[in-house]
């Protein structure tokens, strides 16, 4: 079965964005509403979805991300559908429902009984692991979590989380499909919160604590993030920056904060302590989390400086 025909279950915000992405990539997409609504209510939901999708396509064209000529055929590939009838020929089914385990399990069970046995079934869950959902599905080897970040039609990252039962070929086919859409799929083990949501929860709560403690206003915390960490991490990965700045710098800063704030959440991670013991401090010692032997240190640092300078140029022209 071809992955070309796609079904997105749930016409809410994230579902609309995912449907837009697949349609823009050339796939016929069924945007499916599974709620028990009157015909009028369903028509209103779909009309709202189409207005939002058309608006976002228009904005993408105005910003030069797509051409205006791509908008009509993209909208034409979208089909409004109520219920699960007619999805038997879908090769990829993306559930995009609220983060409620029982709701997802119920819908996934019904979907797996209706679509073709070889169809890939994915959940958008941002925190619920495949292990909590796969038991409801007939053919768990074809199930995985495919977590899109909001706004899904803009953010490149998509986390691909295989469960213990997931077939390796299903993962590879899903990754290839996402890459075809221009996304950056990242494989992740089955762990609560995956990568992005787990890190983001810590970051957001720490930002709120800064405001609670009177350290800074929400406006200044946001300005600091956008002009500092947000600016840096747009081009330099976290582990790349640890190595560039030095594992020892992270170690000292973490120990100081853990003591000064009397909070163990700041203490160095076990792997940081191990790197310190082996003198693997980053690019300056030839090895940190990555290898910098030979001329790799110069190549790495020059590439990152160039990337940050390009980022600075974009920042100043914005």
**pLDDT the model gives residue 1:** 47
What residues form DSSP beta bridges with 184? 157
For residue 317, the model assigns a pLDDT of: 87
**What distance in Å separates the CA atoms of residue 140 and residue 123, rounded to the nearest whole number?**
12
What the chain holds in terms of domains, given with CATH numbers, is: 6-188 (3.40.50.720), 228-317 (1.10.1040.50)
pLDDT along the chain (318 residues), means of 10: 83 96 97 94 96 97 96 97 92 95 95 93 91 91 96 96 95 97 96 90 96 98 96 95 96 96 95 98 96 94 94 88
The pLDDT score that the predictor gives to residue 2 is 57
Q: Three-state SS for 81? A: strand
| Matching residue, tokens 């970051």 | 203
Show the DSSP H helices in the chain as ranges: 13-24, 39-62, 71-76, 101-114, 168-180, 196-212, 218-227, 229-233, 238-245, 247-260, 270-277, 296-317
Which two tokens mark 219? Answer: 């406006």
């Amino acid at each position: 079965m071809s992955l070309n025909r796609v079904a997105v279950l749930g016409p809410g915000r994230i579902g609309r964005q995912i449907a837009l992405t697949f349609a823009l990539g050339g796939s016929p997409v069924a945007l499916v509403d599974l709620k028990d609504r009157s015909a009028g209510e369903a028509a209103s939901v779909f009309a709202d979805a189409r207005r939002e999708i058309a608006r976002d396509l228009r904005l993408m064209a105005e910003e030069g991300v797509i051409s205006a000529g791509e908008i009509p055929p993209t909208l034409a590939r979208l089909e409004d559908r109520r219920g699960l009838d007619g999805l038997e020929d879908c090769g990829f089914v993306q559930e995009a429902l609220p983060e409620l385990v029982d709701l997802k399990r119920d819908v996934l069970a019904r979907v797996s009984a209706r679509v073709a046995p070889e169809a890939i079934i994915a959940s958008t869950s941002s925190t619920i692991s495949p292990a909590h959902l796969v038991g409801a599905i007939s053919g768990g080897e074809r199930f995985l979590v495919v977590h899109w970040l909001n706004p899904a039609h803009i953010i490149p990252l998509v986390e691909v989380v295989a469960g213990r039962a997931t077939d390796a070929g299903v993962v590879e086919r899903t990754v290839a499909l996402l890459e075809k859409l221009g996304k950056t799929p990242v494989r992740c083990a089955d762990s609560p919160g995956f990568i992005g949501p787990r890190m983001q929860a810590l970051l957001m709560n720490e930002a709120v604590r800064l405001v609670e403690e009177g350290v800074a206003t929400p406006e200044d915390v946001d300005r600091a993030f956008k002009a500092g960490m947000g600016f840096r991490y747009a081009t330099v990965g976290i582990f790349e920056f640890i190595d560039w700045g030095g594992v020892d710098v992270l170690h000292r800063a973490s120990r100081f904060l853990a003591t000064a704030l009397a909070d163990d959440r700041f203490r160095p991670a076990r792997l940081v302590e191990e790197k310190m013991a082996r003198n693997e401090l980053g690019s300056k010692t030839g090895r940190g989390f990555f290898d910098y032997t030979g001329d790799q240190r110069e190549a790495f640092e020059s590439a990152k400086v160039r990337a940050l300078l390009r980022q600075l140029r974009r920042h100043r022209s914005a």
